[in-house]
Structure 1
């Protein structure tokens, strides 16, 4: 039990001390609001900050977890609502990830207990001139499309409420994992609008057209257990005392993906994403084209050699 508690504390401490690579020292010092955890006899501080520069914290894991990127949303006072600043920071982060061939998977999570993302920042929205609303929604939609189009697997760890744009963000990820008590819904019709960042298109593709209509028309909110039954999330896990059960399960899944051939995984994602939108014959042609990309790779030869020698392969993404 002591080992389990220590591991949870370590993970929790890691999550909140995630930092942009160029500003690690600054973020580590941010302590506008704190919680404390005991780890190896020392107090570890979980830091919250109202500084907009800390709205998003990005951590490139190392060691055995090298290749995993954790993107943590950190707007505690706004329930992680999507603001202009958050959109900009996420665009920059996704651009960095796309340029990094060492990245093998991405976890999108929250650093705020009990919330994944509450959707659009309505307090900011109400201050916008009507002429600003359309362009902002377009940029948010473009951001979520960029997330969907990342070449590596993406996992949404939903440890709290994911509403409106928050759920649309999760829908853009390849895999969704939630805690059993998380709340999810596209609730825009309550505000006399509709989902504007892909929700009307991605939800029917994830569950079914009729179920998606029911949830959107009624602005219904479901918990993690029901979301799993509907197929909205891949896994629903019982929440733990630390409030990060979905994140921990997402990390386990990333560790399953990590050892596989990175080029093969990227090509598999491309083949699935492109193929699902076309007829079977065209989809098979897409698969063939993607398969042809892995044949000349060094990783493919390494995989064959490792199989022959009965050892674990060491893929380099080459």
Structure 2
């Protein structure tokens, strides 16, 4: 199974690999890629032989975040985008933009993200939706939406509370700080470091696949339940806050200042 920019390998094998496949753009996300990730996750969730999933990016980077072209296209139809944000698909708590990160919690087996190069913005949130993250020491990780006058809104309300205390979460969201892999591990955003994250992820997946599949699935379900809050309310809050920010004067000024490489002038 594959989309033009998302490739799934071994979908019917015990260990499947899902790869962002746009290396010439540092695997920057288009809306079609987001939808393809959701489709891949839903398909894998129904595979009875599946034991583990590995997420990675083709080339030297995991994901540079949302493609600027996609961002500009969304800016041209803000009302429709906001409506889509505030109206999740039937039967889902998460909206179209949250599902690419949240879908991995619906996959009943461990999901391991292998992180090389940059892991920014939407890419970081997708990685945070995995159960484990393995990164190189010199990889770069940032929750970058604040650069554009926005907040992270791809399931961050579900992932960060499990990993960080509130002050650390606020620091990363507000400062748009870029962490190295070493720093991200110290913060708790990365599970472990490796010079070759994909090889390490494959070895870890093989280790987990050798365990009782019932116990592994139950273990994931147990921990997710222990750490669960009220996902529907939290995901709704992400969407409401983001919809209020999008297209507001200060958010537009943030974008223009970035594009024109000048200091922003806020109201």
Q: In which range does the TM-score fall when normalised by the shorter chain?
A: 0.7 to 0.9
The answer (yes or no) to whether the contact 2:45–2:106 under 8 Å persists in 1 is no
**Residue segments in structure 1 that go unaligned for 5+ positions in a row:** 1-19, 24-52, 239-244, 279-318
- Partner residue of 2:62 out of 116, 121, 130: 116
Measured after TM superposition, the shift of residue 212 of structure 1 is: 1.1
Question: For residues 165-215 of structure 1, what are the alpha-carbon distances to aligned partners after superposition, in whole Å with 9 as ceiling and x for unaligned?
Answer: 111001111001001111001011111100011224422321221111111
- Partner residue of 1:151 out of 77, 91, 108: 108
Higher relative contact order (CA 8 A, sep 6+): 2
Measured after TM superposition, the shift of residue 258 of structure 1 is: 0.8
| C-alpha RMSD of the superposition | 1.8
Q: How many Å separate the matches in 2 of 1:254 and 1:136?
A: 35
Counterpart residue number, 2:165: 208
Is the aligned partner of 1:57 residue 2:12?
no
Measured after TM superposition, the shift of residue 249 of structure 1 is: 0.6
| Counterparts of residues 233-272 of structure 1 (less than 5 Å) | 233-238=190-195, 245-272=196-223
Counterpart residue number, 1:176: 133
Counterpart residue number, 1:302: none
The answer (yes or no) to whether the contact 1:204–1:211 under 8 Å persists in 2 is no
Q: TM-score, normalised by structure 1?
A: 0.65
Measured after TM superposition, the shift of residue 266 of structure 1 is: 0.5
| Counterparts of residues 11-90 of structure 1 (less than 5 Å) | 20=1, 53-60=3-10, 66-90=13-37
SS across alignment from 2:98:
helix
Measured after TM superposition, the shift of residue 134 of structure 1 is: 2.6
Aligned positions, number = 218
The answer (yes or no) to whether the contact 1:140–1:197 under 8 Å persists in 2 is yes
Answer 1 or 2: which has greater strand percent. 1
Q: How many Å separate the matches in 1 of 2:207 and 2:84?
A: 37
Q: Please identify the structure whose Cα radius of gyration is greater.
A: 1
CA 1:271 to 1:200, structure 2 compared with 1: closer, same or farther past 3 Å?
Answer: closer
**Residue segments in structure 2 that go unaligned for 5+ positions in a row:** 86-94, 230-267
Counterpart residue number, 2:228: 277
Counterpart residue number, 2:54: 107
